[in-house]
Amino acid sequence: MVIEEAVEIRTEDGVAEGYLYYFGHAVEDRSMPQEAIDGLNKALAKWNGRYESEVFEGAHHGWTVPDSPSYHSTQAEHARKI
């Protein structure tokens, strides 16, 4: 699982509206299986904060780390833009 840093959301007048937390998951990651992702998503929904949780098809553990053998540049760039 990758947790990107929280980004501050601002309204047009510049007032902070809150934070968005982004969770990008690899579909092939023994350290974060689908059951764990589902549990995280349920906990986040109960928390009622601003978040996005996304599973990347074809991604393996370490998919956002440039020097990792499982690095996937297209998916990693997408996750970084969120």
* Close Cβ partners of 3 (under 8 Å, ≥ 6 residues apart): 21, 22, 23
- Measured CA to CA, the distance from residue 6 to residue 41 in angstroms comes to 17
pLDDT in tens, the chain (82 residues): 444 445 555 556 554 466 678 888 988 888 999 999 999 999 999 988 888 899 988 888 877 878 888 887 777 777 776 6
Give SS3 for 80: helix
Predicted structure pTM score: 0.65
What per-residue confidence (pLDDT) applies to 3?
46
What per-residue confidence (pLDDT) applies to 40?
94
| Domain residue extents for the chain | 2-81
